[in-house]
Amino acid sequence: RLKPFNRLQVILQHLKMSKHTDSTAEVLLEKRGAAGIITLNRPKALNALNLPMIQQIYPQIKAWEQDPETFLIIIKGTGGKAFCAGGDIRAITDAGKVGGRLAQDFFREEYILNNAIGTCKKPYVALIDGITMGGGVGLSIHGRFRVATEKTLFAMPETAIGLFPDVGGGYFLPRLSGKIGCYLALTGFRLKGRDVLKAGIATHFVESEKLPALEKDLIALKSPSTENIADLLNSYHVESKIDQEKEFVLDEHMEKINSLFSANSMEEIVKKLKQDGSPFAIKQLETINKMSPTSLKMTLRQLREGASMSLQDVLTMEYRLSQACMRGHDFYEGVRAVLIDKDQSPRWKPATLEEVSDEFVDDCFKPLGNNDLKL
């Protein structure tokens, strides 16, 4: 046994090592001025979100929410390339294949965190500079403020890997104007820079190089209200001139997107695209043909149902869908084709939309009894 003094030394050493501002930690949590700051710190992995990170961020948000000295929460990524490129899909795949707990725990705890952000009583400011996809969208979209920059690259590319646009996609996507959300969800289309603002995903646009100054000004605010924070963000937003004159990338296609993607079934969307026959429609057909037919049907229904649900009900529904994907074939095959072998030619089962029965899709949405997500 260690002598008491040695024990104390070991404990102190441990505390020093586990302090969250340690630059090797995967997530840094610090309190500065009026703000609690969350920094995603896996730059080599494009700040992809894993379970240990979720397990650190969630209790910290809850603590700051209760703390009378914390007036806002800021979340950002390191490395200059990404805010957060998604969830740690490789780890989930490995666990799912062997029936490991991570395939349940990751989605459960991630969605609980998404809900904590969506219900956070303190103003939450996400600086979505760089790649923001999948799990990174879940860490930002449900908060009060989302600041995009010219480097922001937003997408929900899940249908390409046999998944669906989760992390509350069923809530925010159908609430974007027209059928933009449905279009983004089914095709995985990438929005860049100011277009992220124009699509209604970001609330503000600020030049990337101005973010350190913005952060400093946010931290320096004295007991700010949500209005004070909004005013400061607006003042930066108004001064940002990059791409101000450019029209929204989807503007010229909005009429087509709204009519073609308003069909009630995937088969009908495909039929409409074929009938339309324009270069735009043909391009969408090519994209959709690469996606998992099961994912496409699941996603269309997820968005249609989510349009009239609360965020909590959407996340509960999405947890059921996540577990259906873990039980199925396409998720593992999609990850193999896109992330592991990188041959980009997934062999989906079933291979066509027609073969994905309504009964099968219904089954994915069924409650999981005691295993349901509880929010």
Q: What are the catalytic residues?
A: 87, 135, 158, 166
Bridge-based pairing state of the strands 153-155 and 131-133: parallel
- If one counts every other C-beta atom within 10 angstroms of the C-beta of residue 44, the result is 8
Angle CA 172–157–267, to nearest 5: 85
Helices assigned H by DSSP within the chain: 4-18, 51-66, 89-97, 102-118, 135-138, 169-172, 180-187, 194-198, 211-220, 226-239, 254-260, 266-276, 279-290, 293-306, 311-327, 330-335, 358-364
**What distance in Å separates the CA atoms of residue 148 and residue 198, rounded to the nearest whole number?**
10
What whole-number distance in Å separates Cα of residue 81 and Cα of residue 128?
10
Helix (H, G, I), strand (E, B) or coil at 226: helix
Tokens of residue 243, six digits? 């791409």
Q: Which residues pair with 131 in a beta bridge?
A: 82, 153
CA nearest to 317, candidates 367, 362, 358: 367
Q: How many H-runs (helices) and E-runs (strands) does the chain carry?
A: 17, 10
Both tokens of residue 46? Answer: 């494009």
